[in-house]
Amino acid sequence: MRKRLTFHISDTTKFKEQLLFWSKKFQCVCILDSHEVNLKENSKMEYNTYELVAGIDALQIIEPEQNCFDNLKAEIDFAKDWWFGYLGYDLKNEIENLSSDNQDGLDMPQMNFFRPRWVFLLDVDTLLVHYFEEEFSEEDIYNLVMNIQNISVPKEKEVTVAEIKSRISREEYLKAIRQLKEHIRIGDIYEVNFCQEFYAEDTYIRPRQMFRKLMKVSPTPYSCFYRMGEKYLLSASPERYLKKVGRKIISQPIKGTAKRGANEEEDKLIKENLFSDAKERAENIMIVDLVRNDLSRTAAKDSVIVEELCGIYTFPQVHQMISTIVSELKEDVHFVEAIRQTFPMGSMTGAPKVRAMKLIEKYESTKRGLFSGAVGYITPDGDFDFNVVIRSIQYNALNHYLSFMVGGAITMQSNPEKEYEECMLKAKAIVKVLKE
């Protein structure tokens, strides 16, 4: 049985670095950091329960190769404990009659969840530690937290990535956009999310150091450090995929991006222009409709509501247009079904969703794997919170392959040149981390 101890943390920024460094000795780590500084001015980010949620060390690992959602559901129901993990984009093949045959340098499992030995929850300056009383005494946990706080995090030698390559050329990207627009013109689809990969081979990085650099450049409300053995995810995600609180399900898709201004006055003008931009609003509203449809499959009657449409939120690198859609989960429906019926998220696929995913497979050159999947946690009560894996670095330390992907929504109004520029804007923060 798990018990809980409470501690006061005077310097939370320092403690986060110490916890990240301490986790180095463990093979399974998931640290989700909301960077509370970003949330104070963003009203709908009130759905963030904790500033930091972390699961460290694995008592049990789930990594099924088939029937993934059913396996996850069975293990959750049996253990009734905390679970941390991810859903890879290619789980789409289990949900629909689809395939994934593109190039894959990362070899990430399609699903990975683990039941942690320790759970750390940070709420402002209060730390909650969940542990098993059969394994640890209160004194053990007290000493553990004191030891973490006494860690002196060393300054590691800077490691940079020498050569970052693009999987496709600018010309190939523009050609693909034109072809996708032709699919839209003939009514095959209305919108599709198209992505491209940047990668580096024979690359040696220090994942924790790289994650700290990424967070300094781009602190975001759904950032994540994830380790499973020698495979890593370093994520500066600004987007929530799905959250459950009680019977309430919350989805917050992002569609619509604009660069930051040089000053406050310019920032204000850019935000106003983003809010009124017909193309950006059309993209966002199409995905809102898709999410409403997905949520309705598991929702109680008349419970699907758009709480906020096309809200504008500011992050260090960009402004984003975010909508919030909620529903009430039916009493007789397992919460895992709410995930299965909405996955992969509409903001990273398109509409109609299945046809869009087929075209993604046809026109993209890289297997998405964990990119545009989701990372998060599930509580013993069956609540959960998952991000969208974007603005993220993936690294396989076994074959020394590093990868990140960027993309955007393509509609009939899309200008191929501008879409390419938006991709470069989204890649800017990651390139800065890797090259400096």
By annotation, the residues acting in catalysis are: 239, 255
- Cα 271 from chain centroid (whole Å): 24
Decide if 5 contacts 138 (C-beta within 8 A): yes
Q: How far, in Å, are 16, 122, 126, 218, 308 from residue 10 at the CA level?
A: 12, 12, 9, 24, 35
Decide if 209 contacts 159 (C-beta within 8 A): yes
φ and ψ of 168, to 5 deg: -130, 155
Give the DSSP H/E element, type plus range, for residue 275. helix 264-276
CA distance 209 to 157: 9
CA distance 348 to 356: 10
Tokens standing for residue 24: 């180095």
Q: Which residue has the tokens 């150091």?
A: 209
Tokens standing for residue 128: 């909650």
The distance in angstroms from the start CA to the end CA of the chain is 46
CA distance 245 to 326: 11
